[in-house]
Structure 1
Amino acid sequence: MEWLGFHFFAGLAADRALLPAQHDPLLVILAFLVACATSYATLDIAERLKHIEKPRSRDRWGGFGALCLAGGVWTVHVISMRALHVPLKMGFDIPSTLVSMLLALFAGLLSMQALGREILRPWQYLIYAAAIGLSLSAMHYAGLLGQQSVAVAYFEPHLFGLSVAIAVGTGLLIVLLARYLSDGSNLIHQLLKFAASLLLSAEILGANLLGNWSRNLTVPIDAVLLPDNPERNLQISVTLALIALLLIAATISAAIADKKLQGKEHDLRRVNALLSQLDQARMSLQQVAHFDPLTNLINRRGFNQLFAERLMEHAHDGGMLAVMFLDIDHFKRINDSLGHDAGDELLKVVAERIRSATRIQDVVSRFGGDEFCILISLPDHHEEARHLAERILQKTKEPIELAGRRMVMTTSIGISVFPRDGKTCDELLKNADLALYQSKGHGRNRFNFFSPNLRTKASLELLLEEELRSALREESELQVYYQPIVDLRTGQVAKLEALVRWQHPQHGLLTPERFIGIAEANGLIADLDSWVLQRACRDLSELRSPGFDHLIIAVNCSALNLAREELHDEIEDALRRNGVLPRRLELEVTENALMGNISNTIQLLKRIRALGVSLSIDDFGTGYSSLAYLKRLPLDTVKIDRSFIIDIPQSPQDMEIVQAIIVMAHTLHLKVVTEGVESPAQLDFLSRYGCDYVQGYLFSKPMPLEQLRPLVQELNQRKPVIVETLPQETSADENGDADHVSSPWSNRKQTIHRVKD
């Protein structure tokens, strides 16, 4: 049976033989890859067509898409034909090959025309699908008929019809999927596009393979067959695939670049549309840009501009200027304890008080945070700056109602004077800042004028920072001193507090107050704390002799180090490396450090406590902690700051505060350590009111471990002194009988402590 040049298979003649055929899997995979790239490029260009606004550009991209689709589909067709191996040498008819290429181009043009339309009705979908599918089928079978050999090709009707149907379905999929996936840019959209590409490529390859399978090649039984060259087929297929993939890649790259360019053009049009509005608002925005929205004061930018103008005027006229740097003492505590809203309200109040203390011609600025800067013109001397600073200090100390609480805030001020302290804006601001740090370092709530020795001190601080880095790296100058902590119940030395010292080669032995601030300001505090922890654990491992094997060493932890999650692992490593039992280590943290980030702090302390390490809160009573937080913290010990002990027994108020802290701590099942004990009277008071541990110069100054061993033995051998307990309070019940009322120290029959010989 013959139709349009096709011989349909109706049975094998007796004098002819059917040639065996099989597909090369490698070439089939190669054809599938080209089909995938073609499908993805077609979907990408269809998406590009949807968003192109200019008709000429849309036509140009439609042509690119048609070439890309035609080239890819025709390449898949050729590779699939080459993939079918038969034991027969095959040639190609050039006119038939050109016809198949034109049919592929026609199918591509039809596809791009369908995708370029704004609206397609259902019957138009079917017409385009049929036209595209028939063009693809005609392309494939024209190529098959163009193969020349001694064999005669017969096509199986059902496979022939099925391949045509799949080609029509491919045309429908091209139109449906490309239009459906023309909008979107998220990950799900990209995944859908990849999935659609796989489905479409399977349809394209399937139609070609079915066309190959529908063809049966027959030859006379006595024909002499010349086998085809598989390597040549592979070379031709790979070459065509590379050409097609390069064409597709170039098309996709051009589409991406054009999309970005169009986006920039669209943005440019939007910018041009907004320029007129921005120009109208420019003056008002410039005004806003130079003022702080919270306090309505000039901000840093506006201040710098005015400062430069005033400096030029005074340099020309020979006048004097004063620059005053001011910030609020302990402002961070307000934010941490009362919240940022309360902090903002405080800034407003302070700004208004500064403004009320200055003259109308003075420039008041908020630099950011709690920093303020004031610029004033001076007569022939700088006394006016001194008077203004005094007025500001007095104004800011007035009570403030904040978050339902009445509190007093103080400020620190640093002052530099032009031309004595500098000739440029930067130099004067830097020198005023140095004077401010001088005020803070001398107790805050004061002002200081800049002096040249402050610059020398800043240089020294920088030098100390470098030397501290070297000392930490070499571990040759740092030392750990220990101060004993005495248990008042037994009179024995129960703990040793580890205190770092720096044996500086030029400045001698430096206490922590001299270099801890440098370490915290320059990111060295974690290394310093880690070094002290390792050294303390190493010393603990050596305290194994009788009288020392029970000692606990308390190690301080800075506020910055407490915010590090690695602290738990460092403690665990130090204990394991030195073979120290966790119960012999106590970690001391300051009250303010605990309040920094209470939720994270509690979790970290619980993990450390789970190791078996005990926890102590240092300097209790000097910060802003609340009892609600204190009861949530996994603490073992409360250490009362020496500032409450120094005036005992002369200060009844301090005695009442210490007594209240002891009662509160015992109520929360916490032990109490009091530091700074220097007199027997203080020791007697603490013993009577149930303090658990004491430390101070009454027993020993901090000293190296080698010097401390004999002192600990001497303290442990002295006879205890019995201190009478306070009489128990009584109260009457309903019947008038007097019963004893228990107090936190009522069950202590006697308290033992040691005094100096």
Structure 2
Amino acid sequence: MEWLGLQFLTELPEGGQVILNCTHNPFLVLLAYVVASAAGFATLDMTERVGHVEKSGTQRLWRWVGAGCLAGGIWAMHFISMLAFQAPVEIHYQLPVTLLSLVFALTASYLAMHTLSHPDLNVWQYLRAAVWIGLGIATMHYVGMTAMHSIATAYYDPTLFALSIVIAIGASLAALLISRHLRDGTGLFHQLRKFTASLVLGAGIVSMHFTGMAALTLVVPVGSLPFLPGDNNHLQLGLTVAVMTLLIIGSCISAALADKKLQNKEHDLRRVNTLLSQLDQARMSLQQVAHYDPLTNLINRRGFNQIFAEKLIEKTNEGGMLAVMFLDIDHFKRINDSLGHDAGDELLKVLAGHIKGSVRSHDDVVARFGGDEFCILIGLHDREEARHMAQRIMFKMKEPIELSGRRMVMTTSIGISLFPEDGKTCEELLKNADLALYQSKGSGRNSLHFFNPNLRTRATLELQLEEELRHALREDVGLKLYYQPIYELKTGQVTKLEALIRWQHPIHGLLTPDRFIAIAEANGLIAELDNWVLCKACEDLGELSRHGCEALKIAVNCSPLNLAREELADEIEKVLRITGVAPERLELEVTENALMGNIANTLVLLRQIRALGVSLSIDDFGTGYSSLAYLKRLPLNTLKIDRSFIQDIPKATPDMEIVQAIIVMAHTLHLQVVTEGVETLEQYEFLERHGCDFVQGYLLSRPVPLEDLRPVLNEINQRKHAHTVSPLSLARGITGLTLTGPFPNSPGPHAGASIVRPIR
């Protein structure tokens, strides 16, 4: 039977005899296997290169190189295997047909490499490709077999013929699947797996060939005498073909390895360039973060200081002036507290835009130092330029801003320092501008001030006083209490004392509270100072009790800041317990503005204090913003009228009417009334006539230290209030002075005054 030019043996042909003594040269067979394995290794290596190459042109190049290695290896294996075939007849091979078989091998190999270039194929696509590749290899083999010519006729066993095609397809499928799993990987184990796979592929290719050879049967005509061919140098030719093929395959593998190293170097170089680019971007990002404010995109303090230093060097060398302007948004904290921090951030963005839009050019530097604090650096020819810019900023700030459904107007306080007259270093100029800003805020805000040396002197003095006050509190040195009697009109006796703090400073002498109370409040010392006064007053009250003053009460002032502390009631209870003073003998004086600051929390704290038995007095009544609706809810015992309503009596009729109304209102609310600042007989008689309960002032006594207090008390208490003894003679008896009116040079009744506020 003949099919596609091939003779298939179904039965022994008539007039022919089968040649039985055909053999193969084992060395050439082994050599063919080595070539096939090398081709398989090259194919796997080229497949790996194609998968790792990025450029499409380079991928096509290595695909053709891989196809050439595979085709050349298979074809050389076939050629060497045919040279290994030995038969007792003379065999010749037609060169054109042999070369044609190489074309089929190359076609099948390129199809294999093309298939392997697609990493995402499924199993069925690999199987279809394996069928075409296997048929191509089988076609190459049997086309090469047709190039063989001799007196014998070639017949093929159909079963083995089909088996060889199946083996070719199976070997192709194995090559595709193995290559798919070996495409990615590195290291020695990966290379061992690739060598093993190459040996398996070589065995598959050789098996296909020799299965096809096993299907071959040579039949010569009957009567023909077989003869052994002469020495045809098959071994030498096979070695030559094998060496040439291996050299070509080795060169391709070496080229692939060199290209891989070169590509790795290119990858490393690109990676280094990428890292350098990323580092550059990271450096720029860090510089942005380090020198710019992320909220407003203005430069921050660090960036400002860097530019400031450069500008100072420039102006120092070339001459000229600079102005440093500190800006602080007035009452900005109320925005955060009422509308939230998100709204505050949005407001800061708008205000930063206002400030940036008010400067003259890019040469002017605008920075945000944090919170609501901004700083501007400008070059100028005279100080008025700085004033005009500050006024322009203040005017711009007053533009209405829509925020969270509200329409609001913000103001700013500005402090200005000038180079070179106010300083020649960054630190000095910034500090001086900050001092000027502090003055602007202290003078009512929404204003601008230039730095002057007095501010530095005052700041230095305040810093020194703060350090010395800390030392005085820590070591309990220098601080002392003075006491001013509070006279009860009904009984004609001193029934209360107001404790007033003094500081015997080693350099500045005796300081009144207006010199150091604000410092204590600003630096977190006021709670400690209040507690010292409370302890000392209770100790002194115990000392007075041991000398016959068991009925005296003592009034102690409480700072508004201290009144906001929840621990205050517990601290008062502890002091009373330690000193053994009865709670009803202690009166706590608080200002009305302190009471109104946080009325809900204040009510809770005041009720806790009243529950201890301690009396409560509202000080400086009439000078703040008390609400009568809240006043009736406060657990108060006493109301103290401020001296500002007394000092012009009897000349000021409105003041007299106000005092009279306060007394009536207080009594209506079941409160006792103390009037402070009483310095004249007319004031005393007016208060007595209108039902005031207590008076306090220089008419009776100045504040005196504890060691001088008992003689003063004895003098006042021995002169009972009667028609025969006037308060004026009472005052003369106490002080030894003739009083015709207020002391002309005296600081008033508050000269010793409270521990919580500056004294007017």
TM-score if structure 2 supplies the norm length? 0.48
Rg (Cα) greater in structure: 2
Superposition TM-score, scaled by structure 1 size: 0.49
